[in-house]
Amino acid sequence: MRVIKKLNNNAVICVDNNGNQLIALGNGIGFPKTPYTLNDLSKIRKTFYGVNAKYYGLLNEIPDVIFTISAKLVDVAKTKIARELNPNIVFTLADHIKFAYDRYQKGMTVQVPYSYDFTHQYETEMAIGEWGRNYINEQLHIHLDKQEAVSIALHFVNSQYFSKEDSIDESDVLDKVTAIIEERFSITIDRKGFNYSRFASHMQFLLRRQKDQMMITSENQTMFSSICQEYPTTYDCVKQIDGFLQQNMGWGLSEEEQLYLILHINRLRSRESIAS
């Protein structure tokens, strides 16, 4: 195995004997000067093929234990889901688990109601989500509630390669919402960055929830009011997006969805945008 680039002390980019590029995780495999040949493959704990380079930065943001949990959930899902999964799923799911963990630590609770249509249309994904929630709680010693199973299920629904007739076309909505943000803050957003991918995934989940008639609510009224007061410009942007969705899609955002959109846009502005 040829190591060609260090991502951090425990993660590297490699090329295997067939010339395929991959990410390898293992204790200390990033220490030697690259490039080098890794002869002792027992040092590799996990490999990931086909991951988009824009997600590499997550390896320096998300604790290794969360990546291990995410990889376990994906391994379980692959034994139960017939369709091929997007190779980025381990990274996007790890990012979601980290976000859920942070919300838990801050006391932010989310209510994602069980939709009869969703739970019966995606029984396999829901079973994975319920198992995954229990596994996350066990490994991180936390107590995410049952609604988190729906969020995990949505990740696996959206990561599957559907035929065109199965999929929903959200690209136009995403482009227009992104344009609203760029115009509002006079910025140019890096659409190749992984933080934009986080935002795009959030919008994809939002559209999927609307398609399946799932709305998220919570008792975070105090936090919503506080966030709106702390970030009034971002809140104004979210209200503009809400108006766009109401006018063009026939539905609007709940306060909970506005709250999380504010958080995503702030992260997108601060880390993945370049002033024009």
Rg of the chain taking only CA atoms, in angstroms: 20
> What is the spatial distance between Cα 81 and Cα 97, in angstroms, rounded to a whole number?
20
- Please report the pLDDT score of residue 48 as a whole number: 94
CA nearest neighbour of 122 among 53, 32, 214? 214
CA nearest neighbour of 25 among 10, 40, 35, 4? 10
- Please report the pLDDT score of residue 272 as a whole number: 47
> What is the spatial distance between Cα 145 and Cα 143, in angstroms, rounded to a whole number?
6
Asked if omega into 87 is within 30° of 0 (cis), the reply is no
List CB contacts of 258: < 8 A, sequence separation 6 or more. 224, 235, 238, 239, 242
Distances (CA, A) of 201 to 30, 148, 219, 235: 30, 16, 24, 20
CA nearest neighbour of 241 among 253, 231, 229? 253
- Please report the pLDDT score of residue 142 as a whole number: 95
CA nearest neighbour of 96 among 225, 221, 204? 204
Q: What is the DSSP string of 128-178?
A: HHHHHHHHHHHHHT----THHHHHHHHHHHHHB---TTTS---HHHHHHHH
Ranges of residues in the chain with a pLDDT under 50 are 162-168, 272-276
Domains of the chain: residue spans and CATH: 1-49 (2.30.24.10), 52-167 (1.10.1790.10), 171-275 (1.10.1790.10)
Residue 125 carries which DSSP code?
H
Q: Strand, coil or helix: what is 8?
A: strand
- Please report the pLDDT score of residue 112 as a whole number: 58
